[in-house]
Homo-oligomer: A and B are copies of this chain.
Amino acid sequence: MRKRLHHAPVARLATVTPAGAPHIVPCCFVLEGDTVFSAVDAKPKSTLQLARLDNIRANVVASLLVDHYEDDWNRLWWVRVDGLARLLEPDDMTRDRALALLGEKYAQYRTMRPEGAVIAIEISTWRAWP
């Protein structure tokens, strides 16, 4: 379960809007212990995408999913973690640590250090299927 989350290159992050609607976006991330870090990076963004940050400011509950699909349905799996999210400010030393870890996982981040917000999710619940 931990290994699958650790090695997945992409996850889907779900948050809840201030109006109470679900919001979901794919994201790069890195796992350390029971914390997931994800950065708002330099990939082109529509303004709407930053809804994830507004959502977390209004409602800290977040859920992150990785899954595997293939035509052989005997080989499907997913891992989901739920927890509380917070935004790491530029003066937060944890932010530097998160960016270093993201750089180890993604070559792109080594040449294009994310300048935007960094999200930290403290995992409270792990779930996996099957």
Which residues of A are interface residues toward B (Cβ below 8 A)?
Answer: 9-10, 12, 14-16, 20-26, 43-46, 48-49, 59, 61-65, 67, 69, 71, 73, 76, 78, 80, 82, 108, 127, 129-130
Chain A, interface SS category: strand
A26, B73: Cβ atoms closer than 8 Å: no
Of B26, B43, B49, B63, the contact of A22 (CB 8 Å cutoff) = B63
Q: How far is the CB of A56 from chain B (nearest CB, A)?
A: 11
Which chain B positions have C-beta within 8 A of A62?
Answer: 22
Please list 22 pairs of residues, one from A and one from B, whose beta carbons are closer than 8 Å in the complex, sorted by A's number. A9-B71, A10-B67, A12-B12, A12-B14, A14-B14, A14-B23, A14-B24, A14-B63, A16-B16, A16-B20, A20-B59, A21-B63, A22-B22, A22-B23, A22-B63, A24-B63, A24-B64, A26-B67, A26-B69, A43-B73, A45-B129, A48-B127
